[in-house]
């Protein structure tokens, strides 16, 4: 209780400081008066009595100070005095203050922005989903094949039944739907999910319900949907009676059973889902036929939630053991098949895994920008502290402790950091959703990549702010408080100050800025060269004069025969148009986001390893597809209109498949089995790319759409511009069936370029931060050179008096600045040799130590440094010798 009373009195004393001071004055005056009266009573004269009382009483000021220290919170009061003094000093130098705050704002804001991207895209990407730290992504694996694969629904069910370390197995397969609106239809992103989806995620619809277990079962047996909050508000105007109403999805009426809560956008990073559909509707929304009962049909993407306390390693061991038992039990479909768990930030089937390298690089680059900003502000504070050396000397001379000087200067740095942190947080809030602007929309639907600016990001950013304060304020405060009092008091204001040691410190900070900026410039150059190499890669098909689009037959309720008849009619009509050379349908165009069908194959005469299963991807294509796409045939023929369901099954294989499974033999006329059916090879196609320009060659085969059915992709070889063909194509479709939906019409060049979007994003990050770093380094060099020139004015005047001309002074200052730059570049080269390995996985046909890129970065750095030195050098060359020697 005594401690509480003391604490309360301290608080009361701090809050009522004026009253306490008055009481203290009154009490001291009373004691002094009583002592004086006592001495007078003993016979001492009044004046002598007062002087004696003062001597006996001791120093009044010291007594007051002791009382203040025991009656309040002196540390807080001293700090508050330092803050007020620091604010006055910063207000007296607005140019310096604004420049320092701007530099720190860029550094802190860049880091806070990247933190928000990492939080919102990698670490906690699903708003409203509970306990995301226990969620992991699930993918299949294929022994001997790099990368990941999907999982079949029967396997997924077996994992859920036999694994004991998991709370839930959750299916989430992204798809696109056609939403009928009056006489037109719109494309929208949707997810096919398991019935436990909403319950397992801890997300509860605000109206209606989620899905029921029975809706996982059946073949298109449960046409129901949960709609997104945005759809409910914008399309249905927030109708509270929306549950139970129907809407047309892919040409089939679906009953709305629930409305998702606001801010829940699904569990696919990159796209905001608008509809959720039960597993039983898989066939209608996922191409490739009915898959729920096919253990060999691998299409499931999803997540698991670990039980509390279960480590990812234990979970992986258990699910791998179950996968091994399934491999033994079902060798025909599961031989060589496994399963792998990924943390959310490495999810390979959505944009988390795709953006991971870019965000890693962005974080490293943002930290480098912060270091450059700190070095810059540290240099500015050093220069400012040298100008205040006389003030510091006077304060020391009248009794101020060195630690008080240090605390005052450090407080000034803290104030700068506080203003910069507030500005940086505002900048991060503005830029938290900026990443999506660097990525193109697909099919008219923009990506959704919001940053997460929550308390974790703010706390981490505050920590960065605290560390940065130490980085830029500590050294100047130490230097300024370490003053030679006698020398400083003798020095004149116009003399040379700072000394060799301090000049070396300033130069070192500039060299660090130059080195870090050089590293960022090298990274930008490497990514730029890599992007050019990627874009110059031959995809194996024509990107000029080929347009791609889709026609949604499922939305109009087309069956296989009706689809085939319409495709033949439309191709004939298109090929009769002026400017159209050929047209062909395909099950899936290359370089799209959807996955090709994969199947286990058995090649006649080829013995597969006993522990592996040969799996090859394929796509169905129509007649004239290879001619339309510009894919040459090495041997054999392409598909004709006679390759119908009544004809023997045939296939065209690519060169990789031909060389891998028919070593040295001509595969034309030979057979292989896929999905229980024997196909005869009728042609060999030249190698081409299927997903992106940097993929490694892989076996692949094509089947005729007239035998397999389906095919919503349309490729047209034409010299017509996309706008003209779009009008003609829409007109022809309207003549045949006005209910069909024409998708986005783009060139194959644009289709290919979309796959380099993430590389462009990484390049954009490097270019943006590299530009900031270059600007900050130039500012730092300019500040140091300007200060150096101002301190050497007397020297320059003496040189000119002795015969030096303006060109000599100009060259001397520029030479000094370029020496600092050269030393920084040498340090940057050594640093870049190590750091550029971080971007090695983003480089394509470019070495991380490419000499041409290093040379170009050095040239850019030298030009920027020269520009930063020219103004100080010009000032030096304009020195008036008479005026300089008089100062």
Question: In the chain, what percentage of residues exceed pLDDT 70?
Answer: 87
Does residue 450 register a pLDDT over 80?
yes
Does residue 761 register a pLDDT over 70?
yes
Query: Are 360 and 345 in contact, with CB atoms under 8 Å apart?
Result: no
Question: How many Cβ atoms sit within 10 Å of the Cβ of residue 55?
Answer: 8
Show the tokens assigned to 21: 């001071």
**Better-scored residue on pLDDT, 317 or 388:** 317
Does residue 621 register a pLDDT over 90?
yes
Q: What digits encode the pLDDT tens for the residues 624-634?
A: 999 999 999 99
Q: What is the CA radius of gyration of the chain?
A: 37
Query: Are 740 and 552 in contact, with CB atoms under 8 Å apart?
Result: yes
Does residue 73 register a pLDDT over 80?
no
Give the pLDDT score at 495: 41
Give the pLDDT score at 308: 94
Does residue 485 register a pLDDT over 70?
no
In this prediction, residues 148-154 reach a mean pLDDT of 91
Q: What digits encode the pLDDT tens for the residues 646-683?
A: 899 999 999 999 999 998 889 999 999 998 899 999 99
Give the pLDDT score at 87: 81
**Better-scored residue on pLDDT, 885 or 509:** 509
Q: pTM for the full model?
A: 0.78
Q: What digits encode the pLDDT tens for the residues 116-138?
A: 999 999 989 999 999 999 999 99
Does residue 12 register a pLDDT over 80?
no
Does residue 496 register a pLDDT over 50?
no
Q: Crossing angle for the helix pair 153-162 and 312-329, nearest 10 degrees?
A: 120
Q: What digits encode the pLDDT tens for the residues 157-172?
A: 999 999 999 999 999 9
Q: Crossing angle for the helix pair 351-387 and 94-117, nearest 10 degrees?
A: 160
Show the tokens assigned to 406: 């240090």
Torsion angle (degrees, nearest 10) of CA 170, 171, 172, 173 = 170
**Better-scored residue on pLDDT, 515 or 27:** 515
Does residue 881 register a pLDDT over 80?
no
Is residue 323 very low, low, confident or very high in pLDDT (cuts 50, 70, 90)?
Answer: very high
Show the tokens assigned to 203: 């997300």
Does residue 406 register a pLDDT over 80?
no
Give the pLDDT score at 610: 79
Give the pLDDT score at 493: 40
Does residue 686 register a pLDDT over 60?
yes
Q: What digits encode the pLDDT tens for the residues 705-753?
A: 999 888 889 999 998 888 888 899 989 988 888 778 788 888 999 999 8
**Better-scored residue on pLDDT, 304 or 734:** 304
Does residue 563 register a pLDDT over 70?
yes
Residue 728 DSSP class:
H
Is residue 573 very low, low, confident or very high in pLDDT (cuts 50, 70, 90)?
Answer: very high
Look-up of token digits 């002592």 = 35
Q: Which of 443, 704, 715 is nearest to 570 (CA)?
A: 715
Q: What is the mean pLDDT of the chain?
A: 84
The rounded distance, in Å, linking the Cα atoms of 233 and 715 is 37
Q: Which of 175, 759, 864, 70 is nearest to 518 (CA)?
A: 864
């Amino acid at each position: 209780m005594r401690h509480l009373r003391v604490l309360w009195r301290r608080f009361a004393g701090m809050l009522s400081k004026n009253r306490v001071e008055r009481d203290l004055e009154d009490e001291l005056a009373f004691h002094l008066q009583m002592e004086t009266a006592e001495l007078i009573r003993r016979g001492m004269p009044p004046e002598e009595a007062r002087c004696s009382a003062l001597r006996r009483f001791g120093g009044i000021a010291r007594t007051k100070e002791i009382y203040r220290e025991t009656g309040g919170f002196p540390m807080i009061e001293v700090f508050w005095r330092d803050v007020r003094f620091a604010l006055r000093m910063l207000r007296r130098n607005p140019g310096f203050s604004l420049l320092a705050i701007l530099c720190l704002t860029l550094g802190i804001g860049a880091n806070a922005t990247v933190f928000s991207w990492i939080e919102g895209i990698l670490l906690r990407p699903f708003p409203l989903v509970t306990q995301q730290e226990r969620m992991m992504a699930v993918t299949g694996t294929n022994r001997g094949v790099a990368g990941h694969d999907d999982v079949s629904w029967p396997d997924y069910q077996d994992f859920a039944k036999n694994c004991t370390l998991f709370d839930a197995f959750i299916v989430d397969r992204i798809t696109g739907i056609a939403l009928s609106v009056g006489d037109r239809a719109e494309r929208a992103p949707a997810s096919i999910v398991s019935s436990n989806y909403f319950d397992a995620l801890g997300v509860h619809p605000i109206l209606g319900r989620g899905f029921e277990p029975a809706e996982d079962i059946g073949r298109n047996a449960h046409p129901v949907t949960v709609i997104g909050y945005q759809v409910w508000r914008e399309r249905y105007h927030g109708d509270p009676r929306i549950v139970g109403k129907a809407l047309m999805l892919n040409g089939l009426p679906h009953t709305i059973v629930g409305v998702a809560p606001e801010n829940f956008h699904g569990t696919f990073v990159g796209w905001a889902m608008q509809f959720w559909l039960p597993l039983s509707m898989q066939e209608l929304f996922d191409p490739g036929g009915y898959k729920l009962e096919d253990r060999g049909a691998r299409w499931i993407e999803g997540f698991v939630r670990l039980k509390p306390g279960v480590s990812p390693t234990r979970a992986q061991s258990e699910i791998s053991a179950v996968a091994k038992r399934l491999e033994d039990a079902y060798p025909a479909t599961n031989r060589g098949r496994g399963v792998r768990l990924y943390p959310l930030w490495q999810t390979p089937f959505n944009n988390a895994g795709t953006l991971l390298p870019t965000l890693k690089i962005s974080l490293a680059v943002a930290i480098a920008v912060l270091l450059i900003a700190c070095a810059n502000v540290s240099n500015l504070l050093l220069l400012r502290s040298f100008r205040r050396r006389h003030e510091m000397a006077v304060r020391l001379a009248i009794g101020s402790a060195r630690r008080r000087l240090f605390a005052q200067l450090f407080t000034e740095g803290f104030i700068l950091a506080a203003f910069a942190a507030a500005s940086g947080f505002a900048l991060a809030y503005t830029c938290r959703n900026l990443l999506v602007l660097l990525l193109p929309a697909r099919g008219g639907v923009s990506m959704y990549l919001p940053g997460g600016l929550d308390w974790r990001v703010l706390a981490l950013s505050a920590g960065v702010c605290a560390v940065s304060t130490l980085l830029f304020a500590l050294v100047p405060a130490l230097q300024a408080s370490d003053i030679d009092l006698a020398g400083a008091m003798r020095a004149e204001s116009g003399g040379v100050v700072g000394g060799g040691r301090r000049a070396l410190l300033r130069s070192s900070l500039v060299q660090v800025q130059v080195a870090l900026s050089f590293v960022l410039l090298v990274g930008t150059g490497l990514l730029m060269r890599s992007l050019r190499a990627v874009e110059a890669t031959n995809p194996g098909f024509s990107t000029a004069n080929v347009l791609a689009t889709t026609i949604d037959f499922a939305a109009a309720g087309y069956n296989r025969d009706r689809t085939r008849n319409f495709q033949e009619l439309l191709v004939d009509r298109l090929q009769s148009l002026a400017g159209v050379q050929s047209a062909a349908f395909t099950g899936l165009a290359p370089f799209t986001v959807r996955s090709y069908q994969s199947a286990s194959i058995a090649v006649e005469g080829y013995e597969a390893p006993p522990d592996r299963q040969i799996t090859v991807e394929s796509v169905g294509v129509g007649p004239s597809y290879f001619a339309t796409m510009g894919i040459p045939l090495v041997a054999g023929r392409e598909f004709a209109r006679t390759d119908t369901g009544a004809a023997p099954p045939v296939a065209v294989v690519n060169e990789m498949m031909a060389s891998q499974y028919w070593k040295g033999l001509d595969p034309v006329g030979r057979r292989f089995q896929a999905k229980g059916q024997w196909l005869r090879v009728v042609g060999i196609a030249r190698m081409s790319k299927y997903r992106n320009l940097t993929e490694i060659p892989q076996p692949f085969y094509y089947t005729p759409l007239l035998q397999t059915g389906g095919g919503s992709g349309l490729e047209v070889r034409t010299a017509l511009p996309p706008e003209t063909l779009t009008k003609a194509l829409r007109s022809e479709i309207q003549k045949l069936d006005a209910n069909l939906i024409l998708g986005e019409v783009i060139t194959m060049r644009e289709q290919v370029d979309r796959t380099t979007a993430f590389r462009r994003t990484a390049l954009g990050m490097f270019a943006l931060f590299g530009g900031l770093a270059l600007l900050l380094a130039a500012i730092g060099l300019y500040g140091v050179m300007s200060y150096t020139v101002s301190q050497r004015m007397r020297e320059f005047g003496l040189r000119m008096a002795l015969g030096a001309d303006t060109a000599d002074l100009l060259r001397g200052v520029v030479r000094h600045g370029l020496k600092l730059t050269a030393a920084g570049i040498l340090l940057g080269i050594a640093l870049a040799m190590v750091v550029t390995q971080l971007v090695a996985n983003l480089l394509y046909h470019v070495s991380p130590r490419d000499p041409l890129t290093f040379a170009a970065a050095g040239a850019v750095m030298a030009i920027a440094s020269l520009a930063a030195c020219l103004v100080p050098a010009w000032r030096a060359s304009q020195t008036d010798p008479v005026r300089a020697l008089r100062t």
